[in-house]
Amino acid sequence: MNSKDREQKNQPILAVENLCVAYGKIKALKEISFQVYSGEIVSLLGSNGAGKTTTLNAISGIVPAQSGKIVFRGQNLVGMPTHKIVQCGIAHVPEGRRIFPELTVEENLHIAGYLFSNRNKPLLEQRMEYIFSLFPRLKERRQQAGGTLSGGEQQMLAIGRALITGGDLLLMDEPSMGIAPNLVEEIFATIQTINQKNGLTIFLVEQNAMMAMEISNYCYVLETGVIAHEGVSKDLMQDDSVARAYLGESI
């Protein structure tokens, strides 16, 4: 797929238009615009402090947008509270995983089904089984407190939790952070699996640019709150200037 194909697709599932976010006087995002189309894996790359987490948090309504639009399936999400945005179909694996440390693995997964578990228990069971098939390690640790899991297991749990909420768009904030290389590969393989097998659209924030570009269709590079580059991943990988200037030593 090249950029022209991308534009010929009809409506993007997510369209961010001129989004501005500020923390007090600090402008973290300055009129950024980007699109994610259904079925894609799109990466948002950039170095520390570029505004990647802020972008995801603005989409989920965790931080308020100062101006601009965040249109998901035709509906503007700006001003909507986070729990309503989740109901619209956006799942978010937050930075730092943020699992509930004193709930067991099972309770962490159950509570992710909060929106439907009272009405549809079998659906929750079915999704739990699916998570356990993706991450058998979680199944062995069902009764363990979330806070006692290793970093890698916590990341699996955070992904599992987001999948159970049942969105069609999955936002992931640095799933490779602080995780051993072989496990990172396993997690990236899982990301591809859920994209291909379940048709989940994925918007991936990463500092590990090379790995992210390898699995994604399209990339945006964020630099201090503005989108400095964008393109089809394969083209971007070839572009030396992009690589050297913005993606740092990980290339």
Partner 1 sequence: MGVLLQQAVNLLQLGSIYALLAIGFSMVYGIVGLVNFAHGDIFMVATYLLFFLATWLFSMTSSSFAVLLASTALAAAAIGLLAMIIERVAYKPLRGAPKVSLVVTSLAVGLLLQHLVLEFLGPNSQRVPRMVPDIKFTVGTVNFEFYQILIILFALFIMLLLNQFIRRTRTGVAMRAVSQDATAASLMGISKDFIISVAFVIGAAIATVGASLYGMAYPIFDPYIGQMINWWSFTAAVLGGIGNIRGAVLGGFLLAAVMVISPMVLPVSSYRDIVAFSVLILVLLVKPSGLLGKRSIQKV
Ligand X SMILES: Nc1ncnc2c1ncn2[C@@H]1O[C@H](COP(=O)(O)OP(=O)(O)OP(=O)(O)O)[C@@H](O)[C@H]1O
* CB 178 to ligand X: min, Å: 12
Tokens at 210, concatenated = 């090379």
Tell me the C-alpha to C-alpha distance, in Å, between residue 55 and each of 44, 122, 184, 204, 226.
9, 34, 23, 11, 11
**Of residues 111, 123, 134, 215, which one binds partner 1 by CB under 8 A?**
111
Nearest CB to partner 1, comparing residues 111 and 228: 111
Tokens at 164, concatenated = 């159970």
Q: How many helices (H) does the chain have, and how many strands (E)? A: 11, 10
Cα separation, 146 vs 65, whole angstroms: 32
Determine the interface stretch with Mg ion among 15-23, 46-54, 184-192, 233-241 (rule: CB under 5 A).
46-54
Cα separation, 5 vs 226, whole angstroms: 25
* CB 118 to ligand X: min, Å: 34
**Of residues 72, 161, 174, 203, which one binds partner 1 by CB under 8 A?**
161
Nearest CB to ligand X, comparing residues 26 and 74: 26
136 class by beta-carbon count within 10 Å (0-12 exposed, 13-18 middle, 19+ buried):
exposed
Q: Does residue 53 interact with Mg ion by CB under 5 A?
A: yes
Q: Does residue 127 interact with partner 1 by CB under 8 A?
A: no
Q: Does residue 49 interact with ligand X by CB under 6 A?
A: yes
Nearest CB to Mg ion, comparing residues 17 and 95: 95
Nearest CB to ligand X, comparing residues 46 and 61: 46
Cα separation, 225 vs 29, whole angstroms: 4
Q: Does residue 233 interact with ligand X by CB under 6 A?
A: no
- CA distance between the termini of the chain: 23
Nearest CB to partner 1, comparing residues 94 and 225: 94
Tokens at 186, concatenated = 């396993």
- Contact residues for ligand X, defined by CB under 6 A: 23, 26, 28, 46, 48-54, 95, 207
